[in-house]
Amino acid sequence: MRAIVQETYGSADVLELRDIDQPTAGAGEVLLRVHAAGISRGDVHLMTGEPYLMRAGFGLRGPKNRVPGQDVAGTVVAIGPGVTRLGVGDQVFGIARGAFAQYAVARQDKLAHKPPTVSFTQAAAMPVSGLTALRALDATDVRAGQSVLVIGASGGVGTYAVQLAVAAGATVTGVASGAKAQLVRDLGAAHVIDYARQDYTDGSRTFDVVLDIGGMTPLARLRRALTRTGTLAIVGGESGATWSPGMGRQLHATLLNPFVSQRLTMVVNREHFSGLERLATHAGKGTVASFIDRPFDLTSTADAVRHLVAGKARGKVVITI
């Protein structure tokens, strides 16, 4: 089969298209014919091996899994021992091992059935980003009538967070660049703040919920955007740290939380079919849609990663296979 392979850590230049052996499904796993695969910031970190501390779990000198990729949508072509939730021919989406390939293996508890009205490309965009957004909404208990600020609204996680908050009945303000403002409005945001022109943490306006997705804004400034009893959720963060993950703000928030009237929390993703099924329900009803950047195929995977790293993507980056 054709697959993207990386033998060492580095930039997108380490990604090579090769012919390799097709994987086989083990106990509790299924083999998928991959139709599309999404690219997330997590894939970039696994490609570069940075922050370095992550290499303790994913390979010291090079990645343990030579074929990258997690977000997947495809058709089940074989099942391993003990698989009961899925069968051959099922069209599914979720989290796989080595999704940047014609075939990939995934655990049955990390897959859900794809809604018939959703394309494979749209479904492949949802798993990691959609689940992260769903966890953020659950952690902050977003409800109808609340005001919600989504920082990073035009990115992979942000596009789903805006839609899920709107679906919950909240009034959403999205933070993005001016060039991506229309995308955020199209997602359903009532207001858009161009971060290059306006300081959304100056205290002139406060929100019941603030979702900071992949940002670097200091905790003290984020708190100024909250109401006195508002809730802040920090979802990841691109700190640029070489050795250790950018968890300083999250840890600070956790330690400070018991001593302030505001609720400060961090979001940790959970890869499970229950969340994927919730996303599928939203997608099937049309309350959540995947906003896909320009198309890429397997041969242009390295270019797709470069596009994401450069910050040019509007919505999700997906490769078709």
The amino acid sitting at 192 is: V
Work out the percent of the chain whose per-residue pLDDT is above 70: 96
Amino acid making up residue 52: Y
In a domain, 43, yes or no: yes
pLDDT in tens, 158-169: 999 999 999 999
Q: What is the pTM of this model?
A: 0.91
CA angle centred on 295, ends 293 and 299, rounded to 5° = 135
From the list 282, 251, 245, the residue with the least C-alpha distance to 264 is 251
Do 102 and 136 share a domain, yes or no? no
16: domain CATH number is 3.90.180.10
Kindly indicate the confidence band of residue 274, based on its pLDDT and cuts at 50, 70 and 90.
very high
Assess if residue 197 is contained within a domain.
Answer: yes
Total count of domains within the chain: 2
Q: Is residue 271 part of a domain?
A: no
Please tell me whether residues 42 and 75 are part of one structural domain: yes
Containing domain of residue 70, as a range? 2-126+290-320
Same domain, 114 and 8: yes
CA angle 138, 140, 153 (to 5 degrees): 90
Task: Give the start-end residues of each E strand in 118-165.
Answer: 147-151
- d(C-alpha 98, C-alpha 23), whole Å: 9
Cβ-in-10-Å burial (0-12, 13-18, 19+) of 85 comes to: middle
- Sheet hosting strand 226-235, strand order edge to edge: 191-194, 171-176, 147-151, 207-213, 226-235, 263-266
* CATH number of residue 253's parent domain: 3.40.50.720
211 and 191 housed in the same domain:
yes
| pLDDT tens per residue, range 191-243 | 999 999 999 999 899 999 999 997 788 889 999 999 999 999 998 755 555 54
- Point out the domain boundary residue: 250, 266, 282: 266
DSSP conformation class of 21: P
Residue 44 belongs to some domain of the structure: yes
Residue 285 lies in a domain: no
Same domain, 177 and 243: yes
Q: How far is CA 236 from CA 48, 65, 211, 215, 269, in A?
A: 17, 23, 10, 7, 10
